[in-house]
Each structure stands twice: as structure tokens, then as C-alpha cells.
């Protein structure tokens, strides 16, 4: 097995492990404001801890809701409230499933193109043979991920 393949499998295990832990939905007021209120901390008190104005706290809380807050700000605010900031990109299913879905798309496109050419020469294969070829190609493409794998 190639080093590249082993490394990819190790990355997959890391991501799959993170995906197992369900991420809670973002509260309607955002995490900054929700945690601050849960601690019983006023915006002014948080501002003092951060050495910023109360308006800056309100701005950050609003930016979080709008998707414009930086990761650095989230970490700084979390630490000022005695918390830690957790950030993750978590797939909706196992990485292997995402790879298999993309490989199947590629395989279906290849088999579809080949089938069109064969049809022009009156040499079409039965649907069962096409399905078997899609399955075979899917496994091959998923195993040997090419540089254009994620190009559609």
C-alpha cells in the first residue's frame, strides 16, 4: 500500500471520529451571547475582560450571527469567558461514503460515454453488464484517487 494511501486513511479516521460527535445547533442568539448570558456576565463585564468597548462586544455578537466573525475573535471571546473555542468541519456521513459517491459519479459518466459510443456501433451492453461495470469502476476510482477526482 502506498504511503499516500495510508496517510489518506489516517486523515479519514480523524474526520470520521469527529463526525461521530454530534455538533449541537447554533443557538438563535449565537454562541457568544448565549454563553455570556449563561455565565450571568454582562456585555460591559466581558468588554472589561477583553479591554474593549461594550459596542465591540455587541459588534462581535452580531457578526457571529451574520457569519462575519473571525475564528481569532471567537477564540479570544471564548477565553475571556473562561471557555475554549471549538471549530470543526464535519461531513454529514463517513468520508468513505463521500468518496464512494464521487467515484460512482465518475464511473457512471465513463460508462455512459462508452455506452453512447457502443450504441452508435450497435454494440450496446445489457443494463446488468453496465451496472457491473459501474460497480467495478467505482471501486477502482475510489481506490486510486486521481488528481482530477473532485473535478466535475
Of 40, 77, 84, give the one whose Cα is nearest residue 59: 77
User: For the segment 69-107, what is each residue's pLDDT rounded down to a tens digit?
Assistant: 999 999 999 999 999 999 888 888 889 999 999 999 999
* Predicted local confidence at residue 18, as pLDDT: 77
Enter the pTM of the model.
0.71
Cβ neighbors of 124 (< 8 A, separation 6 or more) are 115, 118
Q: What is the CATH number of the domain that holds 47?
A: 1.10.260
Range of the domain at 116: 95-143
Are the beta carbons of 52 and 39 closer than 8 angstroms?
no
Does one domain contain both 29 and 75? yes
* Predicted local confidence at residue 119, as pLDDT: 57
Residue 6 lies in a domain: no
Does one domain contain both 99 and 132? yes
Does one domain contain both 75 and 30? yes
Does one domain contain both 31 and 56? yes
Residue 12 lies in a domain: no
Residue 50 lies in a domain: yes
Are the beta carbons of 86 and 117 closer than 8 angstroms?
no
User: For the segment 44-65, what is each residue's pLDDT rounded down to a tens digit?
Assistant: 999 999 999 999 999 999 999 9
Domain count, the chain: 2
Amino acid at each position: 500500500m502506498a504511503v499516500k494511501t495510508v496517510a489518506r486513511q489516517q486523515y479519514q479516521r480523524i474526520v470520521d471520529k469527529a463526525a461521530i460527535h454530534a455538533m449541537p445547533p447554533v443557538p438563535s442568539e449565537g454562541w457568544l451571547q448565549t454563553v455570556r448570558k449563561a455565565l450571568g456576565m454582562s456585555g460591559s463585564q466581558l468588554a472589561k475582560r477583553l479591554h474593549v468597548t461594550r459596542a465591540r462586544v455587541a459588534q462581535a455578537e452580531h457578526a457571529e450571527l451574520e457569519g462575519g466573525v473571525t475564528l481569532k475573535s471567537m477564540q479570544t471571546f471564548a477565553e475571556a469567558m473562561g471557555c475554549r473555542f471549538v471549530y470543526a468541519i464535519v461531513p454529514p456521513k463517513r468520508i468513505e461514503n463521500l468518496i464512494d459517491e464521487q467515484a460512482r459519479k465518475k464511473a457512471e459518466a465513463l460508462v455512459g460515454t462508452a455506452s453512447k459510443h457502443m450504441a452508435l456501433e450497435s454494440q450496446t451492453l445489457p443494463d446488468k453488464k453496465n451496472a457491473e461495470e459501474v460497480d467495478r469502476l467505482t471501486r477502482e476510482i475510489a481506490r486510486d484517487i486521481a488528481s482530477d477526482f473532485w473535478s466535475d
